[in-house]
Amino acid sequence: MADKHQHDVPPNPYLEKRRTATEAKALEERVRQLENLLTEKGVVSKKTLDRVVSIYENDLGPLNGAKVVARAWIDAAYRQRLLADATKAIKELGFGGLQGEHMVVVENTATVHNIVACTLCSCYPWPVLGLPPTWYKNPPYRSRIAIDPRGVLIEFGLELDDSIEVRVWDSSAEIRYLVLPERPQGTEEFSEEELAALVTRDSMIGVARVNSFS
């Protein structure tokens, strides 16, 4: 099972679940009837339903941020623009929605590891990362990340060598940080799209690295 998914998806038990063809077909039919019934009555339009799916599938997760990171990995000039003025560079890719906040992108290297937090409340770069995870908003992460960042990272499964400098960036109402993670080795042949698929939310908050398998 694990080897089957090595280049595809991690062995997430949720993703392993499969309905039988008969079950899936019956459910497909049941929802189709429900949808038709409601659209024919004029209660809801198919266009609205399409839009809801599109919004929640694309804007809820970190897909936009992942695209920004993938572009920065393959395009050195974009990377420079991103590090110089992230708000502008992110807008270049068509991602906006910020209301006066500035985006700052901090780059992980072999010697520096960046982590983003918001010690006061829960400021988060939602136009690129979607909605924040629960732990990001909880007091234990918010208070401990500033005091013991290495210890918190270990709890996330990331043990950093002592030689690596850890920088914690405290988001505010004015400035939202995004981590540009290191491009994993062995991805030289990957397309921009394949690279974006590897980039996780946690890697852009800085509590994880990007692996060459998603």
Helix axes 46-59, 63-74, angle to 10 degrees: 50
- Among positions 105, 202, 206, 210, the unique one binding other proteins when judged by CB under 8 A: 202
Instruction: Tell me the residue type at 37.
Output: L
Amino acid letter for position 40: E
What is the residue-wise DSSP string for 156-167?
TT-PPPTTSEEE
DSSP for residue 4: G
Query: Using CB under 8 A, which residues numbered 6 to 35 contact other proteins?
Result: 12-20, 24, 27-35
Q: Do residues 169 and 114 make contact, with C-beta atoms less than 8 angstroms apart?
A: yes
Rounded to whole angstroms, the Cα distance separating 199 from 67 reads 8
114 binds other proteins (CB under 8 A): no
In the complex, the smallest distance separating the C-beta of residue 159 from other proteins, rounded to whole angstroms, is 21
Which residue of 6, 8, 53, 157 would you call a contact of other proteins, by CB under 8 A? 53
DSSP-derived 3-state class of residue 189: coil
Is residue 51 involved in binding other proteins (CB under 8 A)? yes
Q: How far is the CB of 110 from other proteins (least distance, A)?
A: 24
- As given in the structure block, the two tokens for residue 68 are 């920004």
Active-site residue, 143 included: no
Please, what is the minimum distance in Å from the beta carbon of residue 194 to other proteins? 16
Among 200, 206, 207, 210, binds other proteins (CB under 8 A): 200
Q: H-helix or E-strand containing 201?
A: helix 201-205
Residue 171 catalytic?
no
Catalytic residue among 54, 121, 143, 191: 121
> Would you count residue 41 as binding other proteins (CB under 8 A)?
yes
> Tell me, what DSSP letter sits at residue 7?
T
User: Please, what is the minimum distance in Å from the beta carbon of residue 124 to other proteins?
Assistant: 11
Shortest separation between residue 53's beta carbon and other proteins, angstroms: 5
Handedness of CA 6, 9, 15, 18 (dihedral sign): negative
123 is catalytic: yes
Residues acting as catalytic residues: 118, 121-123
Residues forming the site for other proteins (CB under 8 A)? 12-20, 24, 27-35, 37-38, 41, 43-44, 48-53, 55-57, 59-63, 129-131, 133-134, 200-202
